[in-house]
A and B are shown apart, each in its own frame.
Chain A
Amino acid sequence: MSERKASTPSQTVGPFLAIGMPWEDGPVADRDGVRISGQVFDGAGEPIPDALVETWQPEPAAFARCATDGDGRWHVVVPRTPYVAVHVFARGLLRHLTTRICFEESTVPETVPVDRRDTLLPEETDDGYRFDIRIQAHPPDRETVFFDL
């Protein structure tokens, strides 16, 4: 397969992704959908103010994206499906990370160790769900499970 082209490597989004990536109604993929909000944290337990969260669901097809605010907070409004695929981008991430918000525990992949499964389960709140993303463990908080694509 000598003709096969190598893929372009990933590089960090850097601190200024807000110039190029967010768009006005990016967080709202389905106005009548479920609201998921949360924070992105680093390994010191500090919120990450320059991250971007993207979500994808194939059925019904829905894509949402939201930059984090000064407190690392993000939110999306998306259709309720068994799970939501998530990419996280930030300065300091040389490639984005991929995780899942699993509304139904049965959608947690079997490869996930039992003691880490709950990091993929969102918490029910008054206005929807909360899902925090911890890029690196900061005890007692555990690291979110991230997947190898």
Chain B
Amino acid sequence: MYTGDPPYDFPEYKSTALRHPKHPLIAVGPERGGPALAHLRPGELSNDLTKDGPVGERITVGGRLLDSGGRPITDSLVEIWQANAAGRYRHKGDNWPAPLDPNFQGGGRTVTDGEGRYSFVTIKPGPYPWGNHPNAWRPAHIHFSVMGRAFDERLVTQMYFPGDPLFRDDPIFNSVRDPKLRELMISRFSMNASQENWALAYEFDIVVDRIPYE
């Protein structure tokens, strides 16, 4: 197991109570291979979530998909989903009464290039309340799903924004116990990559090995 991952049983995040295995995980040999792009059927790809002109702060989010040696993982599917600028998801299960934006769907897909790079154009998602504990608010985040090179390297995570005052009280963010590893989920603001009169830029590299962290 990658020791940097959060525990399955984390009482501060209430939904883990009935959704964690009580038996310890059982050792098994590595799975052979994993889905390459040719085995996936994601339909039309789009890395621009702003095509319909949503309300909000337009940003770019880009980075590299890497292994622990810093080598790029190329031709790999990256999928994201997020709330709109008001913190509302386009989903029937989201009943937070913030406005839905008719011009924002909230999902995107792209493929890493020859250097392992991906990029999205989107809007900055808003924070939103949830029922986990009194006055619980999720820090603004974008969900990321990556395939890695092998089925064992499959990773779904969340990208956060620098300096969010909601980090302190968020059990999902803090379920990663090592503060140094929590930092790996926070994007970096980049003035260099920001584009004049158009969009601010955030950078977020994703590393997918299962090699133990010391």
A residues sitting closer than 8 Å to B (CB atoms) are: 3-21, 23-26, 29, 42-44, 46, 48, 50, 54, 56, 58-59, 61-63, 85, 87, 89-97, 100, 109, 111-112, 116, 135-137, 143-149
Contact = CB atoms under 8 A, between A and B. Distances in A.
B21 A146 contact: yes
B29 interface: yes
A66 to B, nearest CB: 12
B70 interface: yes
A90 B154 CA distance: 14
A9 B5 contact: yes
Nearest to B33: A58
Interface in B53-86: 66-70, 79-81
For chain B, give the interface size range.
35 or more
Contacts of A96: 154, 156
Contacts of B33: 56, 58, 61
Interface stretch (B89-97, B111-119, B195-203): B89-97
A44 B80 CA distance: 31
B52 interface: no
A94 B7 contact: yes
B123 to A, nearest CB: 14
Contacts of B145: 13, 20-21
A94 B25 contact: no
A48 B28 CA distance: 26
Nearest to A87: B154
B205 to A, nearest CB: 8
- List 7 tightest A-B contacts by C-beta distance, closest first: A20-B81, A92-B15, A92-B19, A148-B25, A63-B35, A94-B6, A43-B18
Contacts of B205: 8
B42 interface: yes
Which interface residue of A8, A93, A146 has the most chain B CB atoms within 10 A? A8
A12 B145 CA distance: 11
B23 A143 contact: yes
Given A94-B175, A146-B23, 14 more contacts: A10-B157, A12-B15, A13-B145, A16-B93, A20-B81, A43-B22, A63-B35, A109-B26, A109-B28, A135-B18, A135-B20, A135-B21, A145-B26, A147-B25
A7 B213 contact: yes
B91 to A, nearest CB: 4
Given A16-B91, A90-B19, A23 B8 contact: no
B154 A54 contact: yes
Nearest to A149: B152
A41 to B, nearest CB: 9
Contacts of B29: 109
A121 to B, nearest CB: 15
B164 to A, nearest CB: 14
Contact of B185 (A8, A25, A91): A8
Nearest to B138: A14
A54 B211 CA distance: 23
A46 to B, nearest CB: 8
Contacts of B32: 58-59
Contacts of A13: 143, 145, 156
Contacts of B39: 29, 61-63
Contact of B31 (A4, A56, A146): A56
Nearest to B8: A94
